[in-house]
């Protein structure tokens, strides 16, 4: 067994652990996404581009054979195209469900995030999808630890209570899904896996970021450069850098791209902890990468 003292950041032992957990995380998300696509019990034309984007992402990450076959099938001119694609995706889900066991709560969360992205991938929602969303939350009580999920359920239940789903109600549910998994492929043209979530109360005015004697934590994969360099820029400006979020944290700097080593597909432990502290009255500010870049003067 590898000793904890040997699990150094950037070391090979920790890298192997991360690689195994990252594969599991992506597989759970991919399975959930496909289940979300199937939730309406049909394949819509607007979903095809999103399915392709997620499949290409999964293929790029792990060279997955199912993803490669699905991309090829999406390019095949079937006489009943949407029916054939639905059957193919159903087969992938059935196959992947057999060995998949949600023994870890993280599996449940990542699979749920994927499901949310799947039902919202065409920017439209049907009552069937919303009903299955509610059932999925009810079947996994650990999801209620995230107040965003609890609110999403409440909004969804209220929306379909009259047996009808208006465009405004669709949008309300969609906005809460964005808070979990970020914007859909229909909005960005990009796969949802690796998105950062839309966080309420994000500080967007760069002039309000004060460095002197303020506590900073950074998370995610920054286009600005490696985390050590970014932390150095903060220290040069008088800021105090910590590796973990606490009540002394003033700013959590969130990269535009999720870190591959985050606990969940769209958020790491730092974001989770900061959200919990915010709910308890903490004044931690979330700062996105673009705003942070401006605050640095770049």
> Would you tell me how many other CB atoms lie within 10 Å of the CB of residue 55?
26
Q: How far apart (Å, rounded) are the C-alpha atoms in residues 128 and 108?
A: 21
* pLDDT score of 62: 84
84: left (phi over 0), alpha (psi -120 to 50) or beta: alpha
Mean pLDDT by 10 residues, the chain (298 residues): 40 54 87 96 94 93 92 96 97 88 77 95 95 95 87 96 95 92 83 75 90 94 86 96 94 77 64 86 90 93
* pLDDT score of 189: 80
* pLDDT score of 105: 77
Strand partners, 215: 240
* pLDDT score of 183: 84
* pLDDT score of 16: 54
129: left (phi over 0), alpha (psi -120 to 50) or beta: alpha
Is residue 222 within 8 Å of residue 236, measured between CB atoms?
no
* pLDDT score of 1: 36
* pLDDT score of 147: 86
Which token pair is 14? 């920790």
* pLDDT score of 260: 57
Burial class (CB in 10 A: 0-12, 13-18, 19+), 106: middle
């Amino acid at each position: 067994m590898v000793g904890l003292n040997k699990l150094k950041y950037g070391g090979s032992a920790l890298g192997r652990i991360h690689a195994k957990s990252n594969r599991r995380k992506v597989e759970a998300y991919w399975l959930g996404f496909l289940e979300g696509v199937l939730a309406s019990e049909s394949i819509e034309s607007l979903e095809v581009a999103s399915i392709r984007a997620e499949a290409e992402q999964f293929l790029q990450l792990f060279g997955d054979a199912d993803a490669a076959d699905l991309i090829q099938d999406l390019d095949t001119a079937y006489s009943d195209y949407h029916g054939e694609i639905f059957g193919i995706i159903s087969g992938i889900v059935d196959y992947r469900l057999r060995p998949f066991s949600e023994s870890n709560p993280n599996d449940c969360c990542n699979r749920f995030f994927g499901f949310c992205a799947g039902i919202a991938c065409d920017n439209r929602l049907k009552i069937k999808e919303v009903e299955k969303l509610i059932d999925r939350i009810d079947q996994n009580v650990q999801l209620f630890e995230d107040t965003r999920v609890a609110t999403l359920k409440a909004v969804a239940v209220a929306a379909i209570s009259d047996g009808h789903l208006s465009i405004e109600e669709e949008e309300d549910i969609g906005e809460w899904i964005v808070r979990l998994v970020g914007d859909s492929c229909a909005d960005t043209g990009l796969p949802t896996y690796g998105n950062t979530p839309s966080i309420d109360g994000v500080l967007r005015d760069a002039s309000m970021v004060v460095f002197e004697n303020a506590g900073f934590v950074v998370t995610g994969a920054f286009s600005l450069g490696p985390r050590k360099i970014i932390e150095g820029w903060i220290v040069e400006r008088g800021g105090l850098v910590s590796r973990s979020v606490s009540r002394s944290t003033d700013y959590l700097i969130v990269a535009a791209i999720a870190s591959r080593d985050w606990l969940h597909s769209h958020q790491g432990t730092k974001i989770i902890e900061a959200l919990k502290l915010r709910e308890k009255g903490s004044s931690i500010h979330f700062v996105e990468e673009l705003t942070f870049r401006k605050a640095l003067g770049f």
